[in-house]
Amino acid sequence: MHKSSPTQNRLSQFRRTLFAGAIAASIGLGISAPSLAWEPTKSVEFVVPAGTGGGADQMARFIQGVVTKHNLMKQSLIVVNKSGGAGAEGFLDVKGSVKDPHKIIITLSNLFTTPLATGIPFNWKDLTPVQMLALDQFVLWVNAETPYKTAKEYTTAVKAAGPSKFKMGGTGSKQEDQIITVAIEKLTGDKFIYIPYKGGGEVAVQLVGKHVDSTVNNPIEAVEQWRAGKLRPLCVFDDKVMPYNAKVTATQSWADIPTCKSQGMDVDYQMLRGIFMPGGVTKDQVAFYVDLFKKIQATPDWKEFMEKGAFDTTTLTGDEFVKWLTKEELRHQTLMAEAGFLAKK
């Protein structure tokens, strides 16, 4: 797909715009979508390259629920967890299912990090990109009982304590949480003890129990502990504040959390929540899923889910998505090379 000629690209872009327009119109007018050239003829397997209960799994099961609730697909959508080897099991499974249109996969940052860190024979180009659903934010959290009110105060304390005194908890090793931790260390010259855990929910609870000093949990993993007054968000690793103004706690909303950049920590990292298909599928087949996810994103349930998890709702499809992926792969390569996380060849 990424090797097609410019004219073809323009043509497909044109087709896609036409499609999107038609779909938008049909949703707007409340009539059923035009009959598409391809439709699933059997149940669709929805692979989650992560364990049950994590962020990607929650989103996949939520999508499954929305599809069922609003009857968006004639065949059923079946969520299958293939978490082995930091998601490598799932990626290799989809890579091996060339031309199978009844299989889709939801990805997280391990789309880039797992092959780089383990050297497994996989690259996102082995798959067909369908759509970026959203970007997940990362927030720096501390226990609410600690005196640190701002990220500056916290980093000052880390610096004052000397290297390897403060513990940063995170999900997995050589993955997004540790990449962010290393990026912070690079900027501030501090050194954390990074402790890897199996899941994001566990990490948040370890912070509540004060077994670690800080975490970079995704909003949805820590929001309840924040509401209960157990955790305190210090800053978000994005170049702009989150757009959600509704109060989450009595006094604060997501929008009240400053960017880490404004706190002197210029780290900007979001995690992809995207949908891919196996390689070799036809345009019509991809179009079906693009359309399906458009419908899902139009539901009120989805909007509520996005707000609860303070997601960045940027959506990309087609060439723009491919462009983003290419850029992001390069970025991960640099970040991980700097951190010394690349697999030994």
Partner 1 sequence: MEEINSLMHGFAVALTPMNLGLMMVGIVLGVLIGVLPGLGGANGVAILLPLTFAMGNTPAGQVSAIILLSCIYWGALFGGAITSILFNIPGEPWSVATTFDGYPMAQQGRAGEALTAAFTSSFVGAFIAVLMITFLAPLVAKFALRFGPPEFFAVYLLTFCSFVGMTKSPPMKTVAAMMLGFALAAVGLDTVTGQLRLTFGFTELLKGFDFLIAVIGLFGIGEILLTIEEGLDFKGMTGKMKMKVVIETWKQLPKYWKTSLRSSLIGCWMGITPGGATPASFMGYGVAKKFSPNGASFGKGDIEGVIAPETAAHAAGTSALLPMLTLGIPGSPTAAVLLGGLLVWGLQPGPMLFEEKKDFVWGLIASMYLGNIAGLIVVLTTVPFFAAILRIPFSIIAPVILVICAIGAFTVHSSMFDVWLMVVFGVIGYVFKKLDYPLAPLVLALVLGDRAEDAFRQSMLSSQGTVTIFFSNPLVGSITTLALLMLFWGPLTSLIKRIRG
Partner 2 sequence: MSQQESNEKSAASVRVVDAVTAVIIFAFGAVVIWDSYRLGSKWGSDGPEAGYFPFYIGVILCIASVINLLNALREKPEQDGGESFVSRSSMKMIMSVMIPTVVYVALIAGIGPIPGVGIYVASALFIVLFMRWLGHYGWGKAVGVSVAVPIVFFMMFEIWFKVPLPKGPLEAMLGLN
Residue type, 71: N
- How far apart are the C-alpha atoms of 197 and 230, rounded to whole Å? 20
> Of 4, 13, 17, 76, which lies in the binding site for partner 2, with binding defined by CB under 8 A?
76
- For partner 1, the closer of residues 269 and 341 by Cβ is 341
Nearest by Cα to 54 from 107, 95, 120:
107
In the bound state with partner 1, the residue whose beta carbon lies nearer, of 25 and 78, is 78
Is residue 68 near partner 2 by the rule CB under 8 A? Answer: no
Would you count residue 126 as binding partner 1 (CB under 8 A)? no
Q: Which option in partner 1, partner 2, none does residue 230 bind, with CB closer than 5 to 8 A by kind?
A: partner 1
Taking CB under 8 A as the criterion, the residue among 1, 187, 193, 255 binding partner 2 is 193
Angle (CA) 95 319 300, round 5°: 85
- Binding partner of residue 255 among partner 1, partner 2, none, CB cut-off 5 to 8 Å per kind: none
- Chain CA centroid to CA 143, Å: 24
Judged by CB under 8 A, the residue of 7, 31, 42, 345 near partner 2 is 42
Minimum distance between the CB of residue 75 and partner 2, rounded to whole angstroms? 10
Stretch near partner 1 under the rule CB under 8 A, chosen from 19-27, 46-54, 274-282, 317-325: 46-54
Buried b (16+ CB within 10 A) or exposed e, 199-216: bbbebbbbbbeeebbbbb
Q: What is the Cα gyration radius of the chain?
A: 21
**42 interface partner picked from partner 1, partner 2, none, CB below 5 to 8 A per type:** partner 2
Segment interacting with partner 2 (CB under 8 A) among 38-46, 50-58, 219-227, 233-241: 38-46
- 8 A C-beta contact, residue 259 and residue 236: yes
Those residues with Cβ within 8 angstroms of residue 234's Cβ, 6 or more apart along the chain or in another chain: 139, 140, 141, 142, 148, 150, 151, 154, 214, 257, 260, 263
- Under the criterion CB under 8 A, does residue 61 sit at the interface with partner 1? yes
**Positive or negative torsion for Cα 228, 229, 231, 237:** positive
- Bridge partners of residue 135, in order along the sequence: 272, 312
Where on the chain is the footprint of partner 1 (CB under 8 A)?
51-53, 57-58, 61-62, 64-65, 67-69, 76, 78-80, 82-86, 88-89, 92, 117-121, 164, 167, 172-175, 193-198, 201-202, 204-206, 208-209, 211-212, 223-225, 227-228, 230, 301, 304, 308, 341
Where on the chain is the footprint of partner 2 (CB under 8 A)?
41-43, 45, 76, 78, 164, 193
